[in-house]
Chain A
Amino acid sequence: MPVINVEDLTDLDKAKMEVTQLKIEVTLERAKVSKCCEEISEYIQSGADEDPLVKGIPEEKNPFKEKGGCVIC
């Protein structure tokens, strides 16, 4: 069973948890936003051609196509 229930924690405990966490985060290594955005763009561009929701697929290949009915008399 998980060790804590957040409702049982006192304000003091929560404040302490927050301060310890922030101390860790301040020291993180970060990359420039422009570089990260470029990488996201490139990833999307490379995948966009195979993305059926972006490019669309012809009805015949679509597994969710309308269930049509053909009756042969």
Chain B
Amino acid sequence: MCDQTFLAITFGPCDNCSQNKPLMNIYLKNEPINYCSLCVELMACQGLAKGETIHTLKTESETLKAKLEEERAKLHDVELHQVAEKIEALGQFVMKTRRTLKGHGNKVLCMDWCRDKRRIVSSSQDGKVIVWDAYTTNKEHAVTMPCTWVMACAYAPSGCAVACGGLDNKCSVYPLSLDKNENLAAKKKSVAMHTNYLSSCSFTNSDMQILTSSGDGTCALWDVESGQLLQSFHGHSADVLSLNLAPSETGNTFVSGGCDKKANVWDMRSGQNVQSFETHESDINCVKYYPSGDAFATGSDDATCRLYDLRADREVAIYSKESIIFGASSVDFSLSGRLLFAGYNDYTINVWDVLKGTRVAILFGHENRVSSVRVSPDGTAFCSGSWDSTLRVSVRFRFSGESDLRNILYSMVLLFTGIRDYRW
């Protein structure tokens, strides 16, 4: 049986040419207008200069990209690992998990450290946002968001508030109070409003402004107190999955990565896209600035992590192995920038030597995807959140009065027996 659909056509004077014709009911910026089909065509072509079509724009885009590659290649005289050849290798590392934070009922999607180096905020799929004391593993605060999939959470620089958001398309700020009995949800403040899910949020250097990225392809800077949009950043052609602010010494820029395989660097004041990098072969899940602010690393679904230098304007290192086939969901640098910690969808965390491009450690222990990896502000430990609903705080294992021989022996024991995370 065919359904017969009747299209109701309105007939009347066109808003533009005033002739009586069949009208097309269209909406421009949420305003209904009635134009005849001829005027709609003319209007669509107005935006184009003479002779421009999608085809010409695409060819122009290709030529520009080729020229860009040419300019970048001129300065590409050496690889990072070649420069690093004369530097001493790190040797094998042993990482041990020292704290396991259990309490989420569902996948942990995001986490952040507080500047006091001991508190952690984490958010999960079931809508819970929990603030932990990582030294004691106690839960200090817990809030239930009205939406599920809280994909973004961030601690305020002062330590007095947390921001979170996800499928509700908003970013909400909760001030943390010392009074345990106080209902945190009552004090919630909605700050950001996007037209699609919130993928990432971050406070700027103060509690007063928040930077957000969203599935609607934009990033935006908001004033927390008034909820006003201060600046918006357009340039991605698909969902933006992650953003990271430059370390404060280097000024007002941030980097974002998205499903269009691009990583863009933005100027916060002007809203201008300053630089753009497109060498990944799949979605970029995470971007992180290098501690000096001159470079940034990305983790992607193409199972590689890459390092891009901002002054050379190109990719300078790629961290991958043939045996790693699962996407990297999250990356972070150690304090000096020598190590890159990357969490993967194959439940492991790989630790890479940034300079040499080699892997120095693998951390097992999680029973599901690792969704978030962050090094603590003083660099003593790193925390990983996973879909197995736990968070683990791990440190570099060193013996007191240690010798290299013992380190090697223990590493061999780990390798041959396959025991993953045992206690001694």
**Which residues of A come within 8 Å of B, CB atoms?**
1-7, 9, 11-12, 14-19, 21-26, 28, 30-41, 43-48, 50-54, 56-60, 62-66
Contact = CB atoms under 8 A, between A and B. Distances in A.
A54 B88 CA distance: 13
Contact of B337 (A21, A24, A35, A40): A40
Contacts of A5: 195-196, 216-218
B275 A12 contact: no
A41 B87 contact: yes
B380 A64 contact: yes
Interface stretch (B7-15, B63-71, B172-180, B281-289): B63-71
A38 B402 CA distance: 32
Given A2-B194, A33-B314, A53-B396, A44 B336 contact: yes
Contacts, number: 215
Interface residues of B, number: 81
B98 A65 contact: yes
Given A22-B61, A33-B78, A43-B337, A17 B311 contact: no
A40 B98 contact: no
Given A2-B229, A3-B232, A32 B216 contact: no
Contacts of B398: 56-59
Interface of B: 47-48, 54, 57-58, 60-61, 64-65, 67-68, 71-72, 75-80, 83-84, 87, 90, 98-99, 117-118, 134-135, 193-196, 214, 216-218, 220, 229, 232, 234-239, 272-273, 275-276, 290-292, 294-295, 309, 311-314, 316, 334-339, 354-355, 375, 378-382, 393, 395-398, 400
Contacts of B400: 58-60
Contacts of A22: 61, 64-65, 68
B271 to A, nearest CB: 11
B382 A53 contact: yes
Contacts of B395: 52-53, 62, 64
B218 A19 contact: no
A37 B71 contact: no
Contact of B83 (A17, A28, A38, A66): A38
A12 B53 CA distance: 8
Contacts of A32: 75, 77, 312
Instruction: Summarize B's interface: helix, strand, loop or mixed.
Output: loop
Given A2-B216, A33-B309, 18 more contacts: A2-B214, A2-B229, A15-B54, A19-B61, A24-B273, A26-B68, A30-B312, A32-B312, A33-B316, A34-B78, A37-B79, A40-B290, A41-B83, A43-B337, A44-B337, A44-B355, A53-B375, A63-B135
B336 A19 contact: no
A18 B355 CA distance: 33
A45 B87 contact: yes
A11 to B, nearest CB: 6
Contacts of B237: 6, 9, 14, 17-18
Contact of A52 (B71, B76, B379): B379
Contacts of B334: 51, 53-54
Nearest to A1: B193
- Sorted nearest first, the 9 A-B pairs with minimum C-beta distance are A6-B217, A47-B336, A56-B398, A22-B64, A51-B336, A15-B57, A37-B83, A64-B98, A31-B311
A30 B311 contact: yes
A47 B335 CA distance: 8
7 contacts: A11-B54, A19-B64, A30-B312, A40-B309, A40-B316, A41-B83, A64-B381
B71 A30 contact: yes
Given A36-B316, A47-B336, A12 B57 contact: yes
A40 B67 contact: no
Contacts of B379: 50-53
Contacts of A1: 193-195, 229
